[in-house]
C-alpha cells in the first residue's frame, strides 16, 4: 500500500502466485492419504496463500479440515508466513476459536495444519439473506447478538494473550449448527511485541486485503482509522473498532463504511455511527445505538475493551437496560409531546404528541407527566375530527343503514303477507287497499335499493314511509292505527344514520305528524270523507277498513296490536344492544388504558 500526496494510503492489488514466480500446486485428488493419517477429500475453501481441504482422520475416525499451501514449491519466507498463522491460532485455546490439531509437512515438504471441521453459516451469509429478502429471511437478531457477545469474549481472550486479529469481518465469523460461534482466519493477526514487518504483505485466505507494500493490514470498510493510516502500534482497540462496525451492520442492515478505497477514506474522515440515523425505520435500542458510537470512536482511547463491549450487549439481552440513558431520552420525548399538544395546528401536532408521549412512557414508565399526558390524549377528543376517523364513522354508518334496510325488507314482506286480511275487513274500499299495497311495494323497492347500494339514501325511505302513513290514516282513520304506525316508523327512521336533510330527526317527526294529522284536517274541511264522528253516544268510526265482518276486524286488530308491540320491543332491544356494545367497548378501552398507564 502506497500513499498519495495527502499521505492517505492507497489500495493496490496483492500480488498473485504467478507474480511471485511460484508454480501452483496441482489440485488434490480425492482419496489422497496425507501423513498416512488424513484421507483428503474435496476442497472446501481457498485463499491467497492456502487452500482448505475436507479430510478424514483415519486414526481417530473424525472429519477434519486440512489447510495447506497452494504453491508447489513455496519459498522459506512463504512457509514461515503460513506456519505463523497455524502457530498463532494454535496458541488460542478457546471454544470460539477453531483448534489446531496438528502441524506437519507432506511428502513434498510443504507445510499443512489440521483444524476442527466447522459446519454452519457465516455472519456475511445471514446479513446477505436478510438484505435480499427481509420479509422471508429476517435477520435472527437475538441469535446474532448472542453470537456477537461470544465473539467479543474470544477477541478479548486473544488480546489478553497479546494477539490482535486485525481482520474481523462478517466472512470471518461463523455461527455453528448447534449454537457454536467461531472467529476464523487469524492469518494476518499481530502478535504484540513481535516485529511483523516480515508479514506486512501477507494475504489472508479471503484474498480481499489491500495489504501490499505497506503496513495497513485489514479489510477496507472494517479497518480502524489507525489501521487505515498505516501506523505501527496497532493494538486490541483496532479490533474493538471493527466489532463496532459489525454491530452497526447487524442493527442497521447496512455497512458503516463502503468497501474498497472509499472505506479507507470514510474511516479516516469519520462518520455518524448511530444505526438509528442510518436506518430510522428500524427500532434500535438507544443503549446499542450509543454503544456503536463508542466502539467506533476515532480516538481509540475512548473505545471500550472487547470484553466491555460484549458485556454491555449481554446486559441488553438480559434486560438490564441503561436506565439513565432511557430516562434522558424519555424526558426529551415528553418535552416534544407537550409542545405538540399545545400547538395551534391541532391535527398534525396531535399525531406527534401521541407518538412522542407513547415513546416517553415506553422508555420510562415512571416518568412524571408522561402517563397524565397519554391519558389526556386518549380521553380528550381533538378539536377537529381526523379524516381517518371521519372515514371510519362513514363506513360504520353505511353498514348500520344496510342493517336497517334489511330489517325494513322483512317488515314490509310481513305486511304484504297480511294484505289479503285487509281486503277481507274492508270489502267496500278496494281502492284504499290497493293504494296501501302499492305504497308497501314502493317502500320495499326502496329498502332493497338501500340494502344493495354503497350510498344509502334514507331520505327516499322517509318520503316513502310518509306516503305509507298517509294511506294508513285514510284507510284506518287518523286517530286509530296511523299514529302508532307513524311512531314506530319514525323511531326506525330516526335510528338510521343521517345522510341527507330529509333523514334529520326533526324532519322525520314533522313528516310523520303531517302524514297522520293531515288527513284529519282534510276530513274536518270536508275535502275527504270523514272517518270519525262524535255524538252523544260516543265516537263512531266509519273508516273504510272497518266495513267488513266483525270477526275479521277483531283478528286484524289483534294481529296489528301484537305486531306493533313486537316491533317496538325489537327496536328497543336493538337500540339497547347497540348501546351496551358501545359502552362495553369504551369500558374495555378505558381498562386497557389503565393497564398501560401506571396508577398514581
| 8-state DSSP, 201 | T
Instruction: Indicate the pLDDT class of residue 121, thresholds 50, 70 and 90.
Output: very high
- Read off the C-alpha cell for 343: 400547538
- The domain boundary, picked from 83, 116, 149, lies at 116
CATH number of domain containing 179 = 1.10.510.10
Instruction: Indicate the pLDDT class of residue 21, thresholds 50, 70 and 90.
Output: very low
Q: Which of 167, 196, 239, 322 is catalytic?
A: 167
Which whole number is the average pLDDT over 543-555? 75
* Alpha helical stretches, state H, 342-425: 346-363, 370-379, 387-417, 419-425
Q: 458: which residues sit within 8 A by CB, 6+ positions away?
A: 401, 450, 493, 496, 497, 498, 499, 500, 502, 503
Instruction: Indicate the pLDDT class of residue 599, thresholds 50, 70 and 90.
Output: low
Given the C-alpha cell 505501527, which residue does it identify?
232
Integer Cα distance of 107 and 40 in angstroms:
14
Task: Check whether residue 459 and residue 364 sit in a common domain.
Answer: no
- The domain boundary, picked from 276, 307, 322, lies at 322
Whether residue 600 lies inside any domain: the answer is no
- For residue 468, pLDDT beyond 50: yes
Whether residue 8 lies inside any domain: the answer is no
- What is Dmax (Cα atoms) for the chain? 140
- For residue 271, pLDDT beyond 90: yes
Task: Check whether residue 209 and residue 303 sit in a common domain.
Answer: yes
Count of C-beta atoms within a 10 Å radius of residue 578: 13
Give the range with max mean pLDDT: 61-75, 288-302, 446-460: 288-302
The helix/strand/coil state of 70 is coil
Element (H, E) at 461: helix 458-476
Task: Check whether residue 335 and residue 273 sit in a common domain.
Answer: no
Task: Check whether residue 67 and residue 193 sit in a common domain.
Answer: no
39 compared with 497, residue with greater pLDDT: 39
Integer Cα distance of 536 and 85 in angstroms:
127
Whether residue 426 lies inside any domain: the answer is yes
pLDDT of residue 25: 58
Task: Check whether residue 501 and residue 552 sit in a common domain.
Answer: yes
Please name which of 255, 185, 193, 190 lies closest in space to residue 227, comparing C-alpha atoms: 190
What value, to the nearest 5°, has the Cα angle with vertex 502 and ends 498 and 503?
30
Are the CB atoms for 50 and 82 separated by under 8 Å? yes
Integer Cα distance of 324 and 304 in angstroms:
19
Give the range with max mean pLDDT: 67-81, 118-132, 162-176: 162-176
What value, to the nearest 5°, has the Cα angle with vertex 321 and ends 592 and 324?
95
- For residue 598, pLDDT beyond 60: no
- For residue 80, pLDDT beyond 70: yes
Query: In this predicted structure, which of 174-178, 186-190, 251-255, 385-389 has the lowest mean pLDDT?
Result: 385-389
Task: Check whether residue 31 and residue 130 sit in a common domain.
Answer: no
Q: What percent of the chain has pLDDT over 90?
A: 29
Whether residue 308 lies inside any domain: the answer is yes
Instruction: Indicate the pLDDT class of residue 323, thresholds 50, 70 and 90.
Output: low
- The domain boundary, picked from 346, 379, 412, lies at 379
- For residue 211, pLDDT beyond 50: no
Integer Cα distance of 116 and 122 in angstroms:
16
pLDDT of residue 208: 43
Integer Cα distance of 347 and 326 in angstroms:
28
Q: How far is CA 504 from the centre of its chain?
A: 43
Task: Check whether residue 573 and residue 471 sit in a common domain.
Answer: yes
- For residue 597, pLDDT beyond 80: no
On average, the pLDDT of the chain sits at 81
431 compared with 317, residue with greater pLDDT: 317
Q: Which long-range contacts (CB under 8 A, 24 or more apart) does 81-84 make?
A: 81/49, 81/198, 81/199, 81/202, 82/49, 82/50, 82/111, 83/111, 83/113, 84/199
Spell 544-567 as b/e; 16+ CB within 10 A means b: bbbebeeebbeebbeebeebeeeb
Burial of 321 (0-12, 13-18, 19+ CB in 10 A): middle
pLDDT of residue 103: 94
Which whole number is the average pLDDT over 84-101? 92
Whether residue 6 lies inside any domain: the answer is no
Integer Cα distance of 160 and 288 in angstroms:
25
Q: 389: which residues sit within 8 A by CB, 6+ positions away?
A: none
**Number of folded domains in the chain?**
4
Whether residue 265 lies inside any domain: the answer is yes
Instruction: Indicate the pLDDT class of residue 593, thresholds 50, 70 and 90.
Output: low
- For residue 435, pLDDT beyond 50: yes
Task: Check whether residue 46 and residue 79 sit in a common domain.
Answer: yes
pLDDT of residue 212: 38
Task: Check whether residue 251 and residue 357 sit in a common domain.
Answer: no
167 is catalytic: yes
Whether residue 523 lies inside any domain: the answer is yes
- For residue 215, pLDDT beyond 80: no
Task: Check whether residue 315 and residue 350 sit in a common domain.
Answer: no
The sheet with strand 62-69 has its strands ordered as: 32-34, 38-46, 50-57, 62-69, 111-116, 100-105
- For residue 197, pLDDT beyond 90: no
Whether residue 594 lies inside any domain: the answer is no
34 compared with 534, residue with greater pLDDT: 34
pLDDT per residue as tens digits for the range 281-317: 888 888 899 999 999 999 999 999 999 999 999 998 8
pLDDT of residue 307: 97
Please name which of 319, 324, 275, 318 lies closest in space to residue 296, comparing C-alpha atoms: 275
- For residue 62, pLDDT beyond 70: yes
Q: Which domain holds residue 231?
A: 120-322
pLDDT per residue as tens digits for the range 408-421: 888 888 888 878 87
Which whole number is the average pLDDT over 13-18? 37
- For residue 182, pLDDT beyond 90: yes
CATH number of domain containing 30 = 3.30.200.20
Are the CB atoms for 185 and 98 separated by under 8 Å? no
Query: In this predicted structure, which of 100-109, 216-225, 536-545, 558-567 has the lowest mean pLDDT?
Result: 536-545
pLDDT of residue 100: 95
- For residue 495, pLDDT beyond 70: yes
Task: Check whether residue 357 and residue 410 sit in a common domain.
Answer: no
Q: Considering the entire predicted model, what is its pTM?
A: 0.56
401 compared with 19, residue with greater pLDDT: 401
Distance separating the N- and C-terminal Cα atoms of the chain: 66
pLDDT of residue 13: 36
Query: In this predicted structure, which of 87-96, 190-199, 361-370 has the lowest mean pLDDT?
Result: 190-199
Task: Check whether residue 301 and residue 178 sit in a common domain.
Answer: yes
- For residue 566, pLDDT beyond 90: no
179 compared with 205, residue with greater pLDDT: 179
Give the range with max mean pLDDT: 281-290, 335-344, 578-587: 281-290
Which whole number is the average pLDDT over 467-496? 83
Which whole number is the average pLDDT over 193-202? 59
Amino acid at each position: 500500500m502506497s500513499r498519495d500526496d495527502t499521505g492517505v494510503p492507497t489500495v493496490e492489488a496483492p500480488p498473485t502466485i504467478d507474480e511471485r514466480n511460484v508454480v501452483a500446486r496441482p489440485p488434490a485428488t480425492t482419496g489422497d492419504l496425507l501423513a498416512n493419517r488424513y484421507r483428503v477429500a474435496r476442497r472446501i475453501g481457498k485463499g491467497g496463500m492456502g487452500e482448505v481441504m475436507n479430510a478424514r482422520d483415519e486414526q481417530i475416525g473424525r472429519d477434519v479440515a486440512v489447510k495447506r499451501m497452494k504453491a508447489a514449491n513455496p519459498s522459506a519466507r512463504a512457509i514461515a508466513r503460513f506456519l505463523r498463522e497455524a502457530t498463532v491460532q494454535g496458541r488460542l485455546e478457546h471454544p470460539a476459536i477453531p483448534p489446531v490439531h496438528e502441524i506437519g509437512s507432506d511428502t513434498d515438504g510443504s507445510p499443512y495444519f489440521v483444524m476442527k471441521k466447522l459446519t454452519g453459516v457465516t455472519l456475511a451469509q445471514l446479513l446477505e439473506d436478510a438484505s435480499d429478502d427481509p420479509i422471508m429471511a429476517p435477520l435472527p437478531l437475538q441469535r446474532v447478538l448472542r453470537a456477537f457477545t461470544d465473539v467479543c469474549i474470544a477477541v478479548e481472550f486473544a488480546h489478553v494473550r497479546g494477539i490482535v486479529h486485525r481482520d474481523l469481518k462478517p466472512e470471518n465469523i461463523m455461527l455453528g449448527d448447534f449454537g457454536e460461534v467461531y472467529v476464523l482466519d487469524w492469518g494476518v493477526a499481530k502478535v504484540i511485541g513481535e516485529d511483523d514487518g516480515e508479514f506486512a504483505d501477507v494475504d489472508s485466505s479471503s484474498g480481499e486485503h489491500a495489504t501490499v507494500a505497506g503496513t495497513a493490514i485489514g479489510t477496507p470498510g472494517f479497518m480502524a482509522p489507525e489501521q487505515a493510516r498505516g501506523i505501527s502500534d496497532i493494538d486490541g482497540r483496532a479490533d474493538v473498532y471493527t466489532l463496532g462496525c459489525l454491530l452497526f451492520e447487524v442493527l442497521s442492515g447496512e455497512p458503516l463504511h463502503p468497501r474498497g478505497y472509499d472505506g479507507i477514506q470514510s474511516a479516516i474522515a469519520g462518520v455518524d455511527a448511530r444505526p438509528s440515523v442510518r436506518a430510522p425505520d428500524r427500532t434500535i435500542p438507544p443503549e446499542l445505538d450509543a454503544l456503536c458510537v463508542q466502539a467506533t470512536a476515532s480516538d481509540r482511547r475512548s473505545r471500550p475493551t472487547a470484553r466491555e463491549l460484549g458485556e454491555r450487549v449481554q446486559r441488553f439481552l438480559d434486560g438490564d437496560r441503561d436506565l439513565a440513558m432511557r430516562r434522558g431520552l424519555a424526558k426529551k420525548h415528553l418535552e416534544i409531546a407537550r409542545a405538540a399538544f399545545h400547538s395551534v395546528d391541532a391535527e398534525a401536532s396531535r399525531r406527534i404528541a401521541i407518538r412522542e408521549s407513547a415513546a416517553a412512557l415506553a422508555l420510562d414508565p415512571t416518568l412524571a407527566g408522561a402517563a397524565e399526558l397519554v391519558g389526556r390524549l386518549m380521553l380528550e377528543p381533538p378539536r377537529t375530527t381526523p379524516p381517518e376517523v371521519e372515514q371510519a364513522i362513514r363506513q360504520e354508518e353505511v353498514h348500520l343503514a344496510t342493517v336497517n334496510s334489511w330489517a325494513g325488507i322483512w317488515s314490509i314482506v310481513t305486511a304484504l303477507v297480511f294484505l289479503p286480511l285487509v281486503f277481507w275487513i274492508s270489502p267496500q274500499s278496494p281502492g284504499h287497499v290497493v293504494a296501501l299495497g302499492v305504497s308497501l311495494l314502493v317502500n320495499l323497492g326502496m329498502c332493497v335499493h338501500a340494502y344493495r347500494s354503497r350510498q344509502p339514501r334514507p331520505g327516499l325511505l322517509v318520503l316513502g314511509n310518509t306516503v305509507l302513513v298517509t294511506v294508513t290514516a285514510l284507510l284506518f282513520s287518523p286517530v286509530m292505527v296511523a299514529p302508532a304506525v307513524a311512531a314506530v316508523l319514525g323511531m326506525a327512521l330516526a335510528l338510521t344514520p343521517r345522510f341527507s336533510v330529509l333523514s334529520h330527526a326533526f324532519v322525520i317527526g314533522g313528516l310523520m305528524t303531517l302524514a297522520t294529522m293531515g288527513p284529519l284536517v282534510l276530513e274536518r274541511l270536508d275535502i275527504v270523507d270523514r272517518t270519525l264522528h262524535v255524538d252523544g253516544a260516543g265516537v263512531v268510526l266509519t273508516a273504510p277498513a272497518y266495513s267488513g265482518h266483525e270477526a275479521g276486524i277483531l283478528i286484524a286488530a289483534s294481529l296489528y296490536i301484537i305486531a306493533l308491540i313486537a316491533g317496538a320491543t325489537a327496536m328497543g332491544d336493538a337500540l339497547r344492544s347497540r348501546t351496551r356494545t358501545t359502552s362495553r367497548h369504551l369500558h374495555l378501552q378505558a381498562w386497557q388504558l389503565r393497564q398501560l398507564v401506571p396508577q398514581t
